[in-house]
Structure 1
Amino acid sequence: MASNVSVDPAKAIEAIREARTTDKFTYLTIIEANLLPEVLPTLNEVLQDAELTQEIGWDLVHNLVGLPGSEACLETIARLGNPREVIIKVLETFELFEQDGYEADSEDGEDSATVSTTQKSILLLGMLAILHKRIKTKYPSRFLAQTLQTVYSAYRPNQELTAAIINLVHSLSGERRPPLPSRKSSINVANLGVEGNASKNAPDPEADREDREDPTESELQQKLLLSFATCILEAYVNGTNMAWAPRLLEFFSPERILPGKKTFMGAFREDQKLLARDAIVGKLVALISDLGLTSPSKSFIDDILKGPLQVAPFSDPPSDPSEISLPTGGAVILLTYWIFSSTIFDASHKSPDIHIFSEHFELLDKFLQDDAQARIQKTPGTIEAIIAIGLWLHFSNLLGFEFSELNKEQDPQTSDFMRYTHLATLVALFHPNLPVRNAASTLAGLVFHSDPSDEDRLKILYDLLENCGFATLKARAVAWLKEELISATSGDNPSLFSTTQALETLQYVVFPNLDFLGEDSEGNGGGKKEIVEFLSGNLQFLLQALNFGLFLWGGQKLGEYVPDNMDAAVRERWYEPLVRAVEAVEKEEGLPTEIGFLRGRLVDLGEKIGAEEEY
């Protein structure tokens, strides 16, 4: 609320003092008309009248929360006002925040003349810590469920607000941990309820004097708070880049790090903002532990894998603790943190009893089987957490199967590996964060190569190259084929990839016939627009295929693995039509700059496969 600069502060103070004898509605109107920062000490004195505050206090919340220096008045209203009415007004104010959203965290000091939405929210959370302890009723969980749902709906991830929510939950659960300080000194969360003197509180004027609290209430409230804390963990991670998957990949495969490149591991050790992210997530997990969830039990894993996808399951006031479940995404993130912190920070969390096949496969399928693109983009933190779990499982050698001729019925089927690879590559395709896309692509490749059946691996490559509509994934499949050939030529174990059969099967999908680039639908010369669209849309795949061609015919000792006359066939059906297509459009304006790389690679490959004319 903006200050009423047209009102003289001295006259405003006088008006508030002298109008106390008027009726409550008139007095409330006078207060609102004279509400300035300068009158707040006087107003707080007036509000010490508990009877008056019970009458008008709740109506002042919305205006006071936007006024700098209003903390003392809001605390008085929380302690002396009618707690049920004040809670209603606090939640209504949160609902307005939900409509407006929260400002992003700022490292600069706030303008002293304004109060940000985050600061307002922290004040209101402090009020709720006081108010809920004051309500005396048989079923306090009904009030708590409504509060948690409203706060969750209005929550926008930032560190200061998250710290205030952690303090609130600690306070309501009866925990005695020291409160997290607010990052901005102008707002002290602890002053509003977390460490306050409960003897200052007025009794609940509407208390159920004859009914004691229901025996199930303690467990109900504890489970509500646990579910809520897990929802906040999920929301925070989905709104904050934690880089769990890239950091795990650096940890397990340091040889992949380019010399001189700044690492994610290093950044999260040195950057104070990134360190604070880890700290907030650690505090949320510690809070969840205080609420009773400390390790990945079998029932915890089963709920994630077998149960329905739960989102904010505390929306309706429950009547029994069994009705309250954890949000599935939050449970996955919690599991990932246990794994990640044990691996990176040497924390002493118990390892979950899961494997790539079948638990992680089921997890990927559960989250991505319906509208994978929308799910990945809506919950990027949850999906990254799943990829991080997969990386840990692979590098921990927890594949979940042991291949043998005598035990084939216990091995994953070809379709399992194919489906797993497909799901992981969807993350590599649609995740908004490039390092996570790279981590997902790496995981897909690692699991693909771990398939003990060379026939299966060949089928998966053929399926991707023949049926996949995304150039990036087809390029990835060509890279995997190259890796398979390198492994076959350097190992002692014979496989289909150490014979000509692999390339005989795949050459027509790696180097398909491109004669259509020179024809339209009636067999005439193709249009330049269509050629540009094809080259632009398939550039990554074409470049990877060119690089693969250079690998096959660039001096490597692969003669025994390459079918006879394959170079001539590739030249005729693939290379020459591609050269003509590039020549037809290379002088066009507005071409993607990457087509220049394509041109250079074609020149190199032409020298290797005996092209008659130099391009």
Structure 2
Amino acid sequence: MADIDNPLLKALPPETDYLSYLTILEYNLTLEQLPTLHRILQDTTLTANIGWDLVHLLLPLLPASQQCLHDVAHLGNPREVVLKATELLEGLGGEEEADDQEETEDIEEAGELKGPGASANEAHEDRAEDGKNVASDVTTSGASSQPPSRAVQFIALLDMLSILHPRIKTKHPSRFLTTSLQAVLPAYSQVAKSTEATEAVLGFIKALSGTKRPKLPPRKSSAMIPMQATPLSAPDPEGQDEPLGVDEEGLQSRLLQSFLSYVAEAYMNSTALDEDVPGLAWSSRYQEKLHPEKIIPQRRTYGSLFAEEEHLHERDTITGHILSLARDLKLGAEELLSTITKADELDLEEEQELPSSASDVPLSKTGSIYILATMAASSTLFNAPSSLPSVSLVPDFAGILASSLGDSATGSTGAESEPLIDAVLFLGFLIINTQSMIPANGDTDHVFNNVLQRLSLLSANMPSPVLRYHAHLLTSTILHLNPSENSRLAFIKDTLEHCPFENLKASAIGWLKDEILAAEKAEQSQKAPGADDSIFATSATLTTVAPFIFPNPDNLMESQSMTDSYATFQAHRPFYLAVLNLLYLLLSSATLPSRLQMAEIAKESELPRFLDSLLQASKRFQSSISDNELEYGDEQGRNEGILGMELIEMTVEQAQHALSRVGMMDLEA
């Protein structure tokens, strides 16, 4: 198109007024016109007057319009353009449902086009391939083959903000910054899975904080085009040569600290549970470092996964950048810990009055946990210099648990994101590894028990088997660290008596077994003269818990149908097996039956009837399964059901014979 016939050039002010020219631009702006618009925007006066209203026109033309957006950011009125970019970011932050529905429809449509055998993965691959061809399509046609993704728009707007904010010259620049950050955060939460978007956010923070670190390494992306040399920015036409307001520098620094903590939260929560790798898998990697002897041969370790798998190694890289920015912003471990453990404050994401001082700006509790865990991981897993404060199990870790996990009520703990639970468990392991004993203090018993309750419920409710195991291991370790034997026994009894989860009650049997064996080992070693016997080496322990570990299960077969009775029995099976294994272990010892006075306990408790009832119930269920009274989906299910009942039967008979050998049970009777 010849310049003389180009409507963008013919209508240039003063030929038309600015408002009319914007209308002409709206109807005539195409991809082919972008080079012309770039030349036009070099007119500083023109761009200062119309730049703010071009942003929404240029955004759909990305990535080809990137250069024009930079022109607007460098030469437009920074106050007006900041407000426009913020408005568009707010729109990006509120489109989740529509975008999700649109993506689902696109995937279904792609599947229909490929035929009934096409998979969702193939449709995703088609969309990814289409994305790779956007850059070539937009240069050869009048319209893009598909609109730019939300992540591409987000990165472009963020790039503009990093140019615009330093240009604003005002007494209170924090007011513009606050508004922008409140718009950026919800928009970023929608694209946090995009590595490019995360790198853009971290680069944005670095640019506004004035740090001199090298830029993040560039990534290949078809969504962006090479940029020309950075142009000089025009001065703020409304700027005034006046000093910053009181505490303005401190307020801006605090705003960036807060923003970084919320970015850390959004990024970490976006890391998917990939092949049972929760977040950064800090707990698993720390255990591998502490106990290399427990690593299963020929099995890939979590350390090797993060070293060899690019998408996992990328997580380490990004959290490393977050940690570097936290240090540049002077966000220390003491402040992070204080934020986590103190009462809730205002949320940066909620609409509120603009802060007037740094103390008005809160950090994200969850983001603070992530950054604190990253600091800990950098020193323990990567041998970086440690900057962690001395953190205690009580009250510090108790405060971390209270802030991160749901209420200790059974229905909420364990519903949190896997990366958060992994970070919390990692901090717990780190604390107990450096704190071998907990000071005895009656005033903190309730706090200590609350820690155990939360962790034990987590071990029962957590869907991830890896995190469930770590929660169980941490619970067991912390329980055994309590110097008060009475407190340990009370917690075990309380779990056996009141816990509704059979797998957790089975864990309590394991705790009891460990305590009894540890006490037996101590008794056999050289004991100080006059030292009292451990409560776990006396009959008091089994006497206390006998009503809860040797219940009478007669009612299983009395008032319920066979199907309901079997379902109830199966639900209790982990607990029954744990009790039977404990009983057999104790009876097989040369000293424990007499030391624990198990003969007296057998007479006074329901132990004989408990064993007999279990035996009869397992035989009855086994017969019902064989006779097809209990329905199973297939032959394999039937066989597994029969084997499960045979295991109960065999274990009960072993326990009965052990009781008979020590004279506690008459098998003939």
Q: Same fold (TM over 0.5)?
A: yes
Q: 1:92 deviation in Å? A: 2.1
1:71 equivalent in alignment to 2:66: yes
Question: Does residue 438 of the first structure (1) align with residue 478 of the second (2)?
Answer: no
Match of 2:663 in 1: none
Amino acid at match of 2:369: V
Structure 2 residue 36 is the aligned partner of structure 1 residue 42: yes
Q: What's the offset of the Cα at 1:468?
A: 0.4
Aligned length: 587
2:168 to 131, 135, 158: 135
The aligned amino acid for 1:346 is N
Report the CA distance shift for 1:550/1:34 in structure 2 as closer, same or farther (over 3 A): farther
CA contact (8 A) 1:163 1:182 kept: no
Per-residue deviation, residues 539-584 of structure 1 (Å, max 9, x unmatched)? 4334433444454457887533471247623313444345435644
Q: Distance in 1 between matches of 2:217 and 2:60?
A: 21
Show the 5 A alignment for 1:561-572: 561=596, 563-564=598-599, 565=602, 568-572=608-612
Moved more, 65-74 or 499-508: 499-508
SS at match of 2:300: coil
Distance 2:5 2:350 in 1: 45
- In the other structure, the counterpart of 2:355 is 318
Structure 1 residue 255, shift from structure 2 partner: 3.5
Moved more, 60-69 or 441-450: 60-69
Distance verdict in 2 for CA 1:265–1:211, change over 3 Å: same
Which residue in 2 is equivalent to 1:487? 518
Pair 582,435 (structure 1): closer, same or farther in 2 beyond 3 Å: same
Which one of the candidate residues 28, 31, 34 is aligned to 2:22? 28
Structure 1 residue aligned with 2:234: 202
For 1:264, give the aligned amino acid.
Y
Contact 2:622 2:642 in 1 (8 A): no
Mind listing any 5+ residue stretches in structure 1 that lack a counterpart? 1-8, 404-409, 521-525
Q: Is 1:216 matched with 2:237?
A: no
Shift of 1:30: 3.7
Distance in 1 between residues matched to 2:4 and 2:367, nearest whole Å: 50
Q: Deviations over 1:240-268 (max 9, x none)?
A: 21111222222223333333332212212
Are 2:615 and 2:649, in contact at CA under 8 Å, matched by a contact in 1?
no
The more displaced of 117-126 and 561-570 is: 561-570
1:266 matched residue in structure 2: 304
Structure 2 matches for 1:497-516, cutoff 5 A? 497-516=536-555
Checking the alignment, whether the CA contact within 8 Å between 1:393 and 1:399 is kept in structure 2 is no
Counterpart Cα distance in 2 of 1:584 and 1:360: 50
Task: Say if 2:214 is the partner of 1:178.
Answer: yes
Cα deviation code 1:296-319 (max 9, x no counterpart): 33x653443234356437954211
| Change over 3 Å in CA distance of 1:515–1:282 after alignment to 2 | same
Q: 1:112 is matched with which residue: 133, 157, 161?
A: 133
Alpha-carbon RMSD across the aligned residues, in angstroms, is 3.4
Contact 2:22 2:50 (8 Å CA) reproduced = yes
Task: Report what 2:116 is aligned to.
Answer: none
Report if aligned partners of 1:238, 1:382 keep a CA contact under 8 Å in 2.
yes
TM-score, normalising length: structure 2: 0.79
1:364 is displaced (CA, Å) by 1.8
Amino acid at match of 2:473: T
Q: Distance in 2 between matches of 1:244 and 1:190?
A: 37
1:518-533 pair list within 5 angstroms = 518-520=557-559, 526-533=560-567
Residue 76 (structure 2) pairs with residue 81 (structure 1): yes
Contact 1:164-1:189 at 8 Å conserved across structures: no
Distance 1:515 1:601 in 2: 19
- Contact 1:242–1:278 at 8 Å: present in 2 too? yes
> Which residue in the other structure is 1:576 paired with?
616
Q: Which runs of 5+ in 2 are unaligned?
A: 104-123, 135-145, 272-278, 528-532, 658-665
Amino acid at match of 1:60: L
Structure 1 residues 345-356: aligned runs within 5 Å: 345-356=382-393
Q: 1:422 aligns with which of 432, 448, 453?
A: 453
Query: 1:375 and 1:420, CA in 2 relative to 1: closer, same or farther beyond 3 A?
Result: closer
Residue 232 of structure 1 corresponds to which residue in structure 2? 263
- Distance change (3 Å), C-alpha of 1:395 and 1:285: same
Q: Is the 8 A contact 1:387 1:443 kept in 2?
A: yes
SS state at 2:165 partner: helix
Q: Percent identity at matched positions?
A: 32
Among 545, 567, 590, the residue aligned to 2:579: 545
Bigger shift: residues 132-141 or 327-336: 327-336
Asked whether the 8 Å contact 2:625–2:641 carries over to 1, the reply is: no
